[in-house]
Amino acid sequence: MKILLTGAAGFIGMHVALRLLARGDEVVGIDNLNDYYDPALKLARLARLRAHPGFRFEQLSIEDGVTLSAVFHRAAPQRVVHLAAQVGVRHSVVAPQSSAGSNLQGFVNVLEGCRALQVEHLVYASSSSVYGANAQLPYVEEQGVDHPLSLYGATKRANELMAHAYSHLFGIPTTGVRLFTVYGPWGRPDMAMFRFTRAILEGQPLDLYNEGHMVRDFTYVDDVAEPLVRLVDKPATPDAAFDAVRPDPARSDAPFRVFNVGGGHPVQLLELIAALEETLGRQAQRRLLPLQAGDVLATGADTRRLQEWIGPCPATPLRVGLRRFADWYLSQHGEAERR
């Protein structure tokens, strides 16, 4: 198929693109290569994609609706995978305009491109952040998602609502994936796994918010990329059993679906650090700090609906994923950090 993928130089975007290319799809990748974190890492990911003859790259910001529309018309994609976003719960607290521009205006532009080209299916990244103040674990898609604790979470919930409107009005099949704390090789430097690994190897203290008593459903990147590719192949369909009197926020009588994509095995940060210490052969220094604005205490994914839709999904054990991440990190940052 011909697939347009936004956020292609991003962490998850690169892994998804490699899977699509490996099976023979043509991929047009979009990314603005901004400096939210070191662009050198994005360029290194992009270099891996450029090695494939089926890949073509377009550098632009999705907020630029005119340029994005021109790319849509040139690419003429059958399906779209939308992963570009201004990420970061804490970043959205200090830079709300950046989050709103990319995650709201940018998403409208993607939806308009899909409408203009009559795209067969749009798969887009939502987030576990949409569950916000909901304390019932594990999170199930039918639960309420109307109390976000950060602007980032609010923009991702808004994306789900916007997608539903386009599915209802224009019949565009849309599938949202609520992602849970993804980690692995080529991961983002602002994420916990990268920051903790770097701090332990450099002998620096780890900042542990809520004194380390946070719980997260860490999900290995392959366990996200594989379901995403499978979802691309299975466009959303109307739910014949949809009850308009008691509406399910993740289903509809329009071609609209939302799924949790997570590991399903939440761990406390202190447990994660103990596993990292064992993996790296180093002891961590801990700096215990209070809970930060926008953070939720715990996340956990119920993925039964996803597996009913696309079949059994991979689930990499945490220690296996940590070993793979550590090996990649050391390969990128040199043997000096082993000493």
Taking the C-alpha atoms of residue 251 and residue 336, their distance in angstroms, rounded to an integer, is 51
Q: Which of 290, 317, 300, 214 is nearest to 260 (CA)?
A: 300
Q: Is residue 305 part of a domain?
A: no
Taking the C-alpha atoms of residue 60 and residue 30, their distance in angstroms, rounded to an integer, is 7
Please check whether residues 71 and 103 belong to one and the same domain.
yes
Number of domains in the chain: 2
Do the beta carbons of residue 123 and residue 228 sit within 8 Å? yes
Q: Looking at the predicted structure, is the pLDDT value of residue 212 above 90? A: no
Torsion, CA 308, CA 233, CA 73, CA 33, rounded to 10:
70
Please check whether residues 140 and 252 belong to one and the same domain.
yes
CATH number, residue 251 = 3.40.50.720
Give the mean pLDDT of 21-26.
98
Please check whether residues 15 and 141 belong to one and the same domain.
yes
Please check whether residues 168 and 271 belong to one and the same domain.
no
Q: Is residue 129 part of a domain?
A: yes
Q: Is residue 186 part of a domain?
A: no
Task: Return the beta strands (E) in 226-327 as ranges.
Answer: 256-261, 267-268, 285-289
Give the mean pLDDT of 44-70.
98
Q: Looking at the predicted structure, is the pLDDT value of residue 79 above 70? A: yes
Say what the pLDDT of residue 336 is.
44
Q: Looking at the predicted structure, is the pLDDT value of residue 335 above 70? A: no
Please check whether residues 235 and 332 belong to one and the same domain.
no
Tell me the whole-structure pTM to 2 decimals: 0.94
Q: Residue 249 half-sphere exposure, CB side, CA atoms within 13 Å? A: 18
Please check whether residues 227 and 102 belong to one and the same domain.
yes
Please check whether residues 69 and 157 belong to one and the same domain.
yes
Give the mean pLDDT of 181-208.
94
Give the mean pLDDT of 277-289.
93
What spatial distance separates the first Cα and last Cα of the chain, rounded to whole Å?
Answer: 47
- Per-residue pLDDT tens digits for 94-118: 888 888 999 999 999 999 999 999 9
Instruction: Collect all residues with Cβ–Cβ distance below 8 Å to 313 and sequence separation of at least 6.
Output: 223, 226, 227, 261, 303, 306, 307
**20: buried, middle or exposed (CB in 10 Å: 19+, 13-18, 0-12)?**
buried
CATH number, residue 331 = 3.90.25.10
Please check whether residues 91 and 204 belong to one and the same domain.
no
Give the mean pLDDT of 295-318.
94
> What Rg do the C-alpha atoms of the chain give, in angstroms?
19
Please check whether residues 133 and 202 belong to one and the same domain.
no
Q: Is residue 159 part of a domain?
A: yes
Q: Tell me which residues are annotated as active site.
A: 152
Q: Which of 127, 117, 125 is nearest to 172 (CA)?
A: 117
Note the Cα 117 to chain centre separation in Å.
25
Say what the pLDDT of residue 334 is.
64
Residue 328's domain comprises 192-216+265-298+316-338
Q: Looking at the predicted structure, is the pLDDT value of residue 74 above 70? A: yes
Please check whether residues 102 and 168 belong to one and the same domain.
yes
Question: Could you tell me the CA-to-CA distances from 186 to 40, 45, 277, 302 in Å, in that order?
Answer: 12, 7, 20, 26
Please check whether residues 139 and 201 belong to one and the same domain.
no
Q: What percent of the chain has pLDDT over 90?
A: 86
Please check whether residues 287 and 140 belong to one and the same domain.
no
